[in-house]
Structure 1
Amino acid sequence: MVENRDSLKQRLKAARDRQGLDRPQAGQGGGPTSPWGFGLRAGVEVFSALVVGVGLGFALDRWLGTWPWLFLVFFVLGAAAGVLNVYRLFNPRSGARKD
């Protein structure tokens, strides 16, 4: 009887792990937990989105000869994407923050 309970617990734990229902243990990933971690991640999110937007806009402008229009459009899109990523980071219902 005790073996059946232990076996059931092991199978339930394995199923929960496969489905991702258990929270990760401390130090096993997840997301930032300190205010400095959130601030650093927010800054990296905005900066990286801007770099990608500016890079794409600049490359497309050089290729198509439309300087500076696509650069400006992709700069604004990159900025919007960065702000949206930060919003998702701080909005607990969005699912991006796992703590």
Structure 2
Amino acid sequence: MMDDDPAKGHDDRTTFDQRLAAARNRAGLDKPKPVAEPQADGPNPFSLAMRLGAEMVASLVVAVAIGYGLDRLFHSSPWFMIGFVPIGAAAGLRNVIRVMGPAKKD
């Protein structure tokens, strides 16, 4: 059946490991994966434009919703909505300027 000689089992194991390592090297399985270099030019322009557009729209939608809610609450249509639209536009522009401004160096 099987030999109970521990020295022979250890020797077979090391030769198997050596043959396995050699086969993996030949197949290219043990090569380190290339690390993607960070983009030197900054983020993708399309994703940046989408983000800036979404920031502007979101701030305006929130401002209009708050103005509409206050107009409904106080029955003062459309004065709160008219007042909150410039506030929402200013908030959106502030976010755009913050994103497009100089990057912080840590």
**TM-score in terms of structure 2 length:** 0.57
**How far has the Cα of 1:66 moved from its partner?**
1.0
Q: Please, what is the CA RMSD of the aligned residues?
A: 2.1
Structure 1 Cα separation of the partners of residues 86 and 67 of structure 2: 10
Q: Which residue of 2 aligns with 1:59?
A: 69
Structure 1 Cα separation of the partners of residues 83 and 97 of structure 2: 21
Note the residue ranges of structure 1 that are not aligned, 5 or more in a row.
1-24, 27-31
**TM-score in terms of structure 1 length:** 0.61
Any runs of at least 4 consecutive aligned residues in structure 1 with deviations exceeding 4 A, and if so which? none
Q: In the comparison of the two structures, how many residue pairs are matched?
A: 66
Considering only CA atoms, is the larger Rg found in Structure 1 or Structure 2? 2
Note the residue ranges of structure 2 that are not aligned, 5 or more in a row.
1-36
Q: Which residue of 1 aligns with 2:56?
A: 46
Structure 2 Cα separation of the partners of residues 78 and 57 of structure 1: 10
Q: Which residue of 2 aligns with 1:86?
A: 96
